[in-house]
Structure 1
Amino acid sequence: MKRSIAWGALPCFAALHVASAQSYTPTQEGGPSVPAWCDYTRSVAAAEAAVLLAPEVFGSVGVVNAGDAEGDAPLGSQTLRLTAGLGYNVVNAYRGVTLRRRAEAECRRYKALTALQSAFQAGPGMGTGPALAARLSVLEAAIPEGTRLLEALRTDLQEGRATVEEFNGLQLRLEQLRALAYETARAQERLALLPRPSSQPLPALLQELHAADDELERLAGTLRRTAAWDIRLRGGYDELIDVRQDLPLFGVLTVSYNLGGWAQSKANARARGTRQQASTEDVDGFPQRVERMLQELRTTRGLEETRLREVSVLVGDLEGQLREVQALETVKVRRFRDYLVLEVARLRAEQAWLQAHLESLQALLGNPSP
């Protein structure tokens, strides 16, 4: 009866091994997009789990005291014994799967941390890429028009219909636009050298970092709990030479539990709860620096929203004046019109910058804080 129970349990635990191995399905990422650290942690976990998930093969040969009262070998006589078979440790299989899951959690944490570090490294230039492009687009469209107006004014100066002061004033405003376009292009070049930030909002990345860190501690506690258990299944061939046996096979299921495991639960719960608290208490920790950066970005967003409203009102007012003076044909009105054209171009460039930068900040910050 015992033998049938043991051998009936063997397929069950084999099925458990297959199911535990199949339950681990790492995210398939192809090519160079896989971070090297993720590949490293997964490879280490796979190496450690390989020997934990696989069954063991054992064998032994030796002399034992055995015999058969009704056989040729008397009781207590020395008999050669041959044993061979397979063994499987269910707890080790569970550890192997947990190690692989821990590698995935480490990969998640690394990705979130790397994305936050890339954003932090960008510093003041974070989210300014679209804003720089928008401002440069407005300036590149306005500078040729300003150049045409300056050349027309140069002709008027040569023919005595304009003053040197008017020419210098218009030239200075045009040079300001050119200098702004040059600085914008240089800022784009510097920004291109920095790591490209993630498309995810920074608060979501920070939350993902905390979640992955908590998952790592949970899995570490799981591995600690498995140390209290030992579940082994062994079966195979066991023959006593020169001793009559009906069926020289055996199967044994062994379960043991260390009573210290009762004290582990509270300690593991305490460790998981205090790990996050310890992270927040680190004043110079990276999550704290990210939180301060987020607060600065929120402040910048508020200030730029106010500035955008002011610039939009001013642009609307100057564009209205420009439409009015364009219908007039006097020389003095044309000089004022030229000034308005360049001034409106400068304000439109600032307006485009603010609009695009606010959109980038909104993408970085996610939903506005209540």
Structure 2
Amino acid sequence: MRTSLARGALLGLGLWAGMAPAEEEAGTVRARGDLAKGYCERVRGTAKAEAVLELAPEVFGSVGAVNAGDAMSGSDDTPLGSPKLRVTAGLGYDFVGLYRGRTLRSRAEAECRRYQALAALQSAVEQGPRLGEAAALDARARALATSLPRAEELVAQLRDDLRDGGATLEELNAVQVRLDHLRSLARDTAQARERLALEPALPEGQTLSALLSAFEAADDQVEVLSGGLRTSGAWRLSVRGGYDEVFDVDQSTPLFGQLTLGYNLGQLWQGRANAQAREGRRLESRDAVDGAPRRVRQLLGELRITEQSEQQRLGEVSALVSDLQGQLREVEQLQTRQVRRFRDYLLLELARLQAEQAYLGAHLETLRTLLGGTGP
């Protein structure tokens, strides 16, 4: 009942517009786990602590002495009667506090969404050109896990052939060098995956542009709600009532009630200042030299360049893989020793190229997701 009455009053005062919190922001970022948990808990707790003072009624009381009764003479120096004891107690409520309390909580949620988006953007900036590499490294690791055992078998067989006189030392060394390259690539891949596991991951399936838009929307919402709180300071719609008795004075009903409506004329000039603050905040967030949004826009350009380069490289590698697979099909039909050695070289080189192909394919897919594009 009280909320409905207050809402009607605030509608008349023009305060309720824009009061509804934006819980369902377009492009809302998924929770960032521990990265944002502490910050969100702090701003929510702070907002609740401030909001309860706005939403709760005020209890007041006072005791003092007042002049009461009829004047004893016409002299201006004569007080109106003798001092009498006065006791006042009651409840007061400012209905504008409903707006301020709810807006404080809405602003805390907007600040939480803003921080979640900022944490995701900063994580992207920290990873830089390595962004989206996790899936690519996983794909390379799977390709190497498939090819390395066979490569080990080829080298072991070649050692046996060397002991039996069926192979030369030069042939063994050439194959061992290629095997060492594969092992080194596998170690580097494992180390890179471990390092990436230490870094916070981006929300899955979201583009960098969507994360940037989510940050800008939440940041703008924070300023809009802050402007609403500043505007609400110009209004007062309060009711006060309770017990009020002056002792030794006849009072039929020692109660009182009062409804107060107040408006600060400064609010007439506040709208333009709030608009200036909102536009200034937007420009500040967008153009800050050390800000995450600016660096993310730069990172987007770098990732597009990487996407084009890797797309070209993937075409080259895929052509090489197809060519080597064709050569293998041809040489496997021959049974001479020289052909078998050539086949071993082809198999090891093919394993390396297939690992690179898997890496490039997975990385390109992730980059297209981050950039919001689609593959050819």
TM bucket by the smaller chain?
0.7 to 0.9
Distance 1:280 1:326, change over 3 A: same
2:321 pairs, out of 306, 315, 319, with 315
| Partner in structure 2 of residue 168 of structure 1 | 173
| Partner in structure 2 of residue 98 of structure 1 | 103
The one-character-per-residue Cα deviations of 1:303-357 (angstroms, maximum 9, x if unpaired) are: 1112112211221221122112212212222122111111111111011101111
- The answer on whether the counterparts of 1:42 and 1:100 sit within 8 Å (CA) in structure 2 is yes
| Partner in structure 2 of residue 274 of structure 1 | 280
| Partner in structure 2 of residue 192 of structure 1 | 197
Percent identity over the alignment is 54
The one-character-per-residue Cα deviations of 1:146-175 (angstroms, maximum 9, x if unpaired) are: 122222222333333333322221121111
- The answer on whether the counterparts of 1:62 and 1:82 sit within 8 Å (CA) in structure 2 is yes
Alignment pair present for 1:348 and 2:354 = yes
Alignment pair present for 1:336 and 2:338 = no
Distance 1:207 1:26, change over 3 A: closer
| SS state at 1:44 partner | helix
Report the alpha carbon displacement of residue 66 of structure 1 after superposing the two structures with TM: 4.7
Alignment pair present for 1:150 and 2:155 = yes
Within 2, Cα distance between the matches of 1:14 and 1:132? 57
2:43 pairs, out of 34, 41, 50, with 41
Superposed structure 1 runs of 4+ greater than 6 Å apart: 8-11, 14-17, 23-27, 31-34
Report the alpha carbon displacement of residue 39 of structure 1 after superposing the two structures with TM: 0.8
| SS state at 1:260 partner | helix
| SS state at 1:161 partner | coil
Please give the TM-score of this superposition, normalised by the length of structure 1.
0.84
| SS state at 2:91 partner | strand
Q: Which moved more, 1:308-317 or 1:189-198?
A: 189-198
Within 2, Cα distance between the matches of 1:9 and 1:243? 35
Q: Residue type matched to 2:363 in 1?
A: H
Report the alpha carbon displacement of residue 93 of structure 1 after superposing the two structures with TM: 3.1
Distance 1:132 1:234, change over 3 A: same
Q: Residue type matched to 2:268 in 1?
A: W
Q: Residue type matched to 1:38 in 2?
A: C
The one-character-per-residue Cα deviations of 1:191-248 (angstroms, maximum 9, x if unpaired) are: 2222333323222111111111111111121111112112211112234445555543
| Partner in structure 1 of residue 57 of structure 2 | 55
Within 2, Cα distance between the matches of 1:289 and 1:322? 48
Distance 1:96 1:117, change over 3 A: same
Q: Which moved more, 1:279-288 or 1:114-123?
A: 279-288
| SS state at 2:373 partner | coil
Within 1, Cα distance between the matches of 2:286 and 2:52? 37
Structure 2 alignment gaps of length 5 or more: 11-15, 25-30, 71-79
Report the alpha carbon displacement of residue 56 of structure 1 after superposing the two structures with TM: 0.5
RMSD: 3.1
| SS state at 1:35 partner | helix
| SS state at 1:251 partner | strand
Alignment pair present for 1:285 and 2:267 = no
Distance 1:143 1:115, change over 3 A: same
Report the alpha carbon displacement of residue 359 of structure 1 after superposing the two structures with TM: 2.0
Report the alpha carbon displacement of residue 63 of structure 1 after superposing the two structures with TM: 4.2
Distance 1:13 1:285, change over 3 A: closer
| SS state at 1:252 partner | strand
Distance 1:217 1:295, change over 3 A: same
Within 2, Cα distance between the matches of 1:26 and 1:343? 55
- Equivalent residues, number: 349
Q: Residue type matched to 1:313 in 2?
A: A
Distance 1:340 1:14, change over 3 A: closer
The one-character-per-residue Cα deviations of 1:164-190 (angstroms, maximum 9, x if unpaired) are: 322221121111111111111121222
Q: Residue type matched to 1:279 in 2?
A: S
